[in-house]
Copies of this chain bind each other. A is one copy, B any other.
Amino acid sequence: MRAAIVGSTGYGGVELIRLLQAHPYVDITSVISSSSAGAPIADGYPHLSEIRTDALDAVDVALMKEKADVVFLATPHGVAAKLVPQLLEAGLKVIDLSGDFRLRSAAEYEAWYKHAPADEAYLAKAVYGLCEVYGDRVHGADFISNPGCYPTATLLGLIPAVAAGWIDPATIIVDAKSGVSGAGRGVSLGVHYSEVNENLSAYKVNRHQHIPEIEQTLSDVAGSKIVTTFTTHLVPMTRGIMSTIYASVMGGAGARSEADFIALYRDYYKGRRFVRIRPQGKLPATKEVWGSNYCDIGLAVDARTGRVTIVSVIDNLVKGAAGQAIQNLNLMMGWDETTGLQFVPAYP
């Protein structure tokens, strides 16, 4: 299968290249960049020297149609909204890693993204590709909206408990933390090494655009509108997301033990290789999934407070972006979802 990557000079795009190079059924036939078209990609990314020697293509739908069967969009907000209709029209399969097609409501997109939304007709066509939950819908689809990094870690950590009705949805609080690569390669004071190193900060409190994405899916799962408190922090590391999630156990801590929760989660994710539930008394750390497509989850129930604490970790560039995008491609095509993605996390 021939793949084109739009936005190849961003961190999401370059991670797609890293992963797809190892995929047995996919050839990258076009690496595309609006800003650096014509230049060899190794100019900006010397780690790709002698691995990718081709020059970057410009953003050109006709060329993509000629060169590729599937297009990955790893582009800033607003680009996919414009490109997707043309690509689908051209008969290409599309996997969009941006946020443009994640919210079903154009109004909500505009409210949170402060940006013009995509055409509603196309919003309706997008399949939200949270693989372990909506894999059936992805199978055979032509157009996938790949989930955000925070939503992936958070939703995989919450859905089994919400679906089972074991936690009170009104009490959900998500304290999320991310490495810096989530902010992309663009330069700003906020990603300046001297400002981020040996520092920890909270940002976009109550205003992060991933909030409606999380709430939309949780509400679907619960069958009623769920509102959550969701806070994001910038941690001095490059990769990794941890969502530490708090909620009150329905019926109190006596109703469901830690072992019950672990069994529930293992059952929910049975057969899904990329979600690993830690045994009782153990919680995952971000480095334990570094560079891989795993989402690792641990759970602790506190008898004193009646709350469950759920810790869910991913590599934001893999399971939170490029890895899940390829997992979606595998599911679209009917291949085993782990094809080309069985990287062991790089530790230490």
Residues of A within 8 A of B (CB): 11, 14, 17-18, 21-22, 45-51, 173, 175, 177, 179-181, 185, 187-189, 191-203, 205-206, 227-229, 231, 233, 235-240, 242, 244, 246, 273, 276, 278, 282-292, 296, 298, 300, 302, 304-305, 307, 309, 311, 313, 342-348
A194 to B206, Cβ gap below 8 A? no
> Shortest Cβ distance from A72 into chain B, in angstroms?
16
In the complex, residue of chain B having the shortest beta-carbon distance to the beta carbon of A345: B47
Q: Which of B181, B197, B285, B313 contacts A237 (CB 8 A)?
A: B197
Ordered by A's residue number, 14 sampled pairs between the chains whose C-beta atoms are within 8 Å are: A46-B285, A49-B276, A175-B244, A185-B192, A197-B198, A198-B240, A199-B287, A200-B285, A200-B286, A200-B313, A205-B309, A229-B302, A231-B244, A291-B346
**Besides A197-B197, A238-B348, 12 other CB < 8 A contacts?**
A46-B278, A46-B288, A47-B287, A177-B200, A180-B193, A180-B194, A187-B189, A199-B287, A200-B235, A202-B309, A229-B246, A231-B309
A199 to B244, Cβ gap below 8 A? no
Q: Which of A200, A233, A304 has the most CB of B within 10 A?
A: A200
A235 to B235, Cβ gap below 8 A? yes
Q: Which of A173, A199, A246 has the most CB of B within 10 A?
A: A199
| CB-defined contacts of A18 to chain B, threshold 8 Å | 344-347
| CB-defined contacts of A229 to chain B, threshold 8 Å | 246, 302, 305, 307, 309
